[in-house]
Amino acid sequence: MRTRRQRKQSRGRIVALLTITVVFVLLVGGWYWRGHRRSHWPSERQETSAQKASKKQAETKPKKAAPKQSRRSELKRPNNVDYQQQLEAKLNDNQFVGTGLMVKDGKVVAVYGRGYANAQRGQVNGADTAFQINSMQKCLTEFLVMKQVQAGKVKLSDHLSQYYPQVPGSTRITLAQMFTMTSGLSMNGMGSGPYNSDRDVVNNAIAHLQFTPSAWGQANYQPVNVVLLAGILEKVSGQTYQQLFEEQLIRPLQLQHTYFGYQIPAASLVATGYYSAGNLPSYEQPLALSPLQQHYELGTGQVFMSAEDFYRAVSSILNGKLLPAALIAEQFKGNSRDQYGGGLYNTEPFKSANGVGIYFRSTIHITPNGQDGVVLMTNQSVSLNLIAGMAKDLQQSLL
């Protein structure tokens, strides 16, 4: 029979063995849990980032201010402290969502992004964000026409009947009148339907446009003029509009953030449009763009560009880098009413253009020599008057 001492020693060994077993199980289990978690779950940093993005999206309401601006946009380009402060103050005071750019003497002096480019993905607006430029594309289309004038393939004194004789009133309408929106042509909305080629877009426009004899020679802003000009471009060049755009703008100017709306690269930073209540930012109603509809905005609203890409394109046209002085003057010879011509309002001391689309607004104010300018682009359906007013205020500091 075992003594009391022996029984005590036996119990001690049992307790020690159990303790070792428990510790071993905990160590093995912890090792397995960490390995399993690491291989199947996102990291703590990724999980926190996703949670933050989700919370910001859920908590953002029309009555609240837009999320904080992108620091990347602040650090992206060299800037001038005074201009940077002016730009940031103007955008913040107006709860502006988008990207603002200021240029002085041909150099970027301020660039600032604010709010989300895509709230669902947690992507913020910055210097590289591309926005749908809508009607600001018109000046680029008419530049492409001027390149064909330079090549001797077309003249602004040509009549529309030389290219589209089936258009009513085409024997009276010159291409110069289409540049100044004094052709007498009009069309309700843009075209729609199946798309096989740009020719479908032009033919659809011709089938739905109207010619008003009493409006001939009178200023009346109508995008159909530019759709027809894009069709003429393709006729005389033997190339598609996109090919010409890439060959004569994107490649020579090395535009890095410019895309056609129906062909946006998956990895690009392209803004999603959002409906906003009044001038207050909101991320509750995103816009899903139709690639088909983008085709029907031929030459007049199918391109996405960053603020700096757009400034670079327009300034390069105005400063003679892409066109000789005589052709620049010919493109931007405005009508007698509002000085609209060649895609810009040609007033002193700044030329200007605006773009208005579903949930997108944009504006540019630029000096005739292309050296000073302000570009504002937003992916919110705010008042264009607000955007244009902000640009005018900012342009005063550049004078």
In this predicted structure, the answer to whether residue 94 has a pLDDT above a threshold of 50 is yes
258-260 vs 303-305, strand pairing mode: antiparallel
pLDDT for 156-174, tens place per residue? 999 999 999 999 999 999 9
Three-state DSSP at 243 gives helix
pLDDT at 4: 53
Residue listed under structure tokens 């009513």: 168
pLDDT for 16-47, tens place per residue? 655 665 545 455 444 443 433 333 322 323 33
262 or 50, which is more confident:
262
Q: How far apart are CA 341 and CA 358, in angstroms?
A: 24
29 or 387, which is more confident:
387
**Range 64-67, long-range pairs (CB < 8 A, 24+ positions):** 64/280, 64/281, 65/95, 65/281, 66/95, 66/96, 66/97, 66/114, 66/115, 66/116, 66/281, 67/115, 67/116, 67/124
Mean pLDDT of 369-378: 97
In this predicted structure, the answer to whether residue 391 has a pLDDT above a threshold of 70 is yes
pLDDT at 280: 86
Mean pLDDT of 90-103: 97
Mean pLDDT of 138-160: 98
Mean pLDDT of 1-6: 53
pLDDT at 10: 61
pLDDT at 324: 97
In this predicted structure, the answer to whether residue 383 has a pLDDT above a threshold of 80 is yes
Q: How far apart are CA 74 and CA 53, in angstroms?
A: 21
Lowest mean pLDDT among 53-67, 334-348, 351-365: 53-67
In this predicted structure, the answer to whether residue 399 has a pLDDT above a threshold of 70 is yes
**Which pLDDT band holds residue 263 (cuts at 50, 70, 90)?**
very high
**Which pLDDT band holds residue 191 (cuts at 50, 70, 90)?**
confident
Q: How far apart are CA 193 and CA 200, in angstroms?
A: 9
**∠ CA 269-275-281 to the nearest 5 degrees?**
80
pLDDT at 291: 87
In this predicted structure, the answer to whether residue 72 has a pLDDT above a threshold of 60 is no
In this predicted structure, the answer to whether residue 54 has a pLDDT above a threshold of 80 is no
pLDDT for 216-248, tens place per residue? 999 999 999 999 999 999 999 999 999 999 999
pLDDT at 11: 62
Mean pLDDT of 339-367: 97
* Average pLDDT over the chain, rounded to an integer: 86
For the four alpha carbons of 62, 67, 72 and 74, in that order, the dihedral sign comes to positive
6 or 384, which is more confident:
384
50 or 25, which is more confident:
25
pLDDT for 306-334, tens place per residue? 999 999 999 999 999 999 999 999 999 99
Q: How far apart are CA 373 and CA 399, in angstroms?
A: 10
Q: How far apart are CA 93 and CA 369, in angstroms?
A: 30
**What length does the chain have?**
399
pLDDT at 194: 85
In this predicted structure, the answer to whether residue 6 has a pLDDT above a threshold of 80 is no
pLDDT at 161: 98
**Which pLDDT band holds residue 296 (cuts at 50, 70, 90)?**
very high
Mean pLDDT of 357-363: 95
pLDDT at 7: 55
Q: Which phi and psi (to 5°) does residue 169 adopt?
A: 80, 5
Read off the pTM: 0.81
Mean pLDDT of 55-76: 39
